[in-house]
Structure 1
């Protein structure tokens, strides 16, 4: 039996994380005989409530528990062999790691300058597996740049220890090669491999009048991460999104307002865009030309809904991935090279700009340009999507090879 442990993704909260997790389970289930999965979860209660997979075990691994307890036990497992049986029996996390054929690290962006506050978590996510001698496979993600001395030291120390690092685009690959890493494979985000199961329409139709999508629909996916960055420099992110939506409505288009990162039952904004979207919705002029999805959908349901749009404006990375995967012309407001390098795969990098460029005028101009070029953009999406999906699903073949060799 093949056992695989996963960290850095989730079923709840950020549906990009859910898309990566479920894509891995889908693709590896097709390649391995009855694989069993363990998720080291940052949100174990929420993830357990949403877990419908009989072969997925949810094990608590909140940041402090991961950084202190699990890492300490994994170190003890390495240096005190006589305790290994006891540690496996007492700790579900250690048992999962010790018995797994591979650890999948699905962190979307790790070991990168400007995100030093997450560096300890980036290290803590893979160090227990290194101490239990479990191969580490870093699924397609952004890493680098590595100019900050602390990040550079940590990256040079720990990234070479991974069995494989899949880079998510050209810029990341160049950063990693510049660091001297040789355990690299050029790939594409794992979420591109996520397949719909055909039940999405009926599931969404229980909450949404699907006739809404019969016209020209513009999807808008805000991000609390972007809000913090824009508002920190004196801007008004929510106000700008409200103004943009009203301008789109004035053009006779319908607008879908959809959060791609949702944590039900809490107003906390970490990995939760629902409170922001509710605020934006409340400030909009009432009308039946706006549809606000005020609930948590699954990653497949979200992808289906996004695919029904004519155009899409994304600030969440994996909302962008879903719109590209459904061949919807997309305008991206981002904060990292991770957006642009994915769009490069489609020859569409011109349709991304940074939050520092966000003004009502610039957003309106770029959207008008995308609207005018939608046929050309759609043609590029259709032309490049098969190759991008192939680069994504290639990860499953690599992981399966490692798992079979370790079994």
Structure 2
């Protein structure tokens, strides 16, 4: 069996940010550990087997088919036969990399923290597996049951990387081992984007990346309020002599928001829905500016020194802006409407553009160095 059989958890194909994280892991590990095998759990919606095969990933044999637990059948088949068809047993995995973007905190609760990691990690360690949580957001942890689950994770993980200072503080408030916790940024900043041939930067200048999750926050009163904001955003961009377009970063719900803006206000704003996360990043990198409420849309903007504005729904957005010394790029309160919004748009579309690009470029160099250091620590433990 291969020396490195790596299970990837928390990454998927549905959300473009999560898929970009998957691509980033595959790229980096394959370069450092040629021949490493990658394994994922089957999920018909977010990680179907055919998508796993497209990127050379095997499937963990722990799912049911026609009511039969395929793990038991896996023990009956020869290893050669299983591998030929792309299946791996849990006992054959020796490394677990968790690339969840933001999956451990009060928003999701104790049960999900258990299902995702805490209920398994002690057993994995007894089997000799290395378990590493790659850079991600954490917290808060006010629920005592969740705190207990997180203590199990802290006590058993080989490495844990918090991608912002707030997440780092939340983790350090949990009783348990602290010597394996490090502060390092999101690692997708190291992945290069690819510009699709169809992209016309003359017609698509300012990318607007909507996020249906904002409707679950208190940023806007309701759906109509958010739709009206998006309409005003498009109109104000056009008044500044730039062409807005919607870039869909995740699924049908975000697409529906963009389509509703066009239909309700009789607009004809271009909508781009791209399935390849590297193409999404390439489009962002070739845009004049970006207004985003998706985290990895923001990372891709900042890392490529593209002037941007952000509407966030959790601490992870503010923390990311602080990493780039670009707090003025946050949209909140008075800057979400009227003159406040127009001033922010003038900031990224007007004479300040070159200055902003230089500022972000300088910060990006430092953030990429820190992301590289995360991987250095990961490979030191794995090898």
Matches of 2:141 and 2:334 in 1, distance apart?
24
- Gaps spanning 5+ residues in structure 2: where? none
**Are the structure 2 counterparts of residues 238 and 155 from structure 1 closer, same or farther at C-alpha, using a change threshold of 3 Å?**
same
Q: Is the 8 A contact 2:249 2:280 kept in 1?
A: yes
Structure-2 residue corresponding to 1:80: none
Q: Which has the higher contact order (CA 8 A, sep 6+)?
A: 1
| 1:9 matched to 2:2 | no
Matches of 1:157 and 1:318 in 2, distance apart?
29
Q: Is the 8 A contact 1:4 1:38 kept in 2?
A: yes
- Gaps spanning 5+ residues in structure 1: where? 78-83
Matches of 2:289 and 2:312 in 1, distance apart?
17
| 1:218 matched to 2:206 | yes
How many residues are matched? 365
Matches of 1:46 and 1:222 in 2, distance apart?
23
Structure-2 residue corresponding to 1:187: 184
**Are the structure 2 counterparts of residues 260 and 171 from structure 1 closer, same or farther at C-alpha, using a change threshold of 3 Å?**
same
| 1:397 matched to 2:382 | no
1:142 deviates by 0.8
Structure-1 residue corresponding to 2:281: 303
Structure-1 residue corresponding to 2:305: 327
1:35 deviates by 1.1
1:85 deviates by 5.8
2:41 is paired with a residue of what secondary structure? Answer: strand
Residues 212-271 of structure 1: CA distance to partner in whole angstroms, max 9, x if unpaired?
Answer: 25xxx2111000001332587446112211121112112211112101112xxxx5x4xx
| 1:376 matched to 2:368 | no
Matches of 2:90 and 2:365 in 1, distance apart?
34
Structure-1 residue corresponding to 2:261: 280
Matches of 1:138 and 1:323 in 2, distance apart?
24
Question: TM-score scaled by structure 1?
Answer: 0.79
Matches of 1:56 and 1:247 in 2, distance apart?
45
Matches of 2:37 and 2:131 in 1, distance apart?
17
Question: TM-score scaled by structure 2?
Answer: 0.83
1:142-161 equivalences in 2 (<5 Å): 142-161=137-156
Structure-2 residue corresponding to 1:163: 158
Q: Is the 8 A contact 2:214 2:220 kept in 1?
A: no
1:5-404 equivalences in 2 (<5 Å): 5-11=7-13, 13-43=14-44, 47-51=48-52, 53=54, 55-59=56-60, 95-116=88-109, 119-126=110-117, 127-133=119-125, 134-180=129-175, 181-196=178-193, 200-201=194-195, 204-206=196-198, 208-213=199-204, 217-230=205-218, 233-234=221-222, 236-262=225-251, 267=252, 269=253, 273-286=254-267, 290-293=269-272, 295-353=273-331, 359-361=336-338, 362-372=340-350, 373-404=352-383
Q: Is the 8 A contact 2:6 2:96 kept in 1?
A: yes
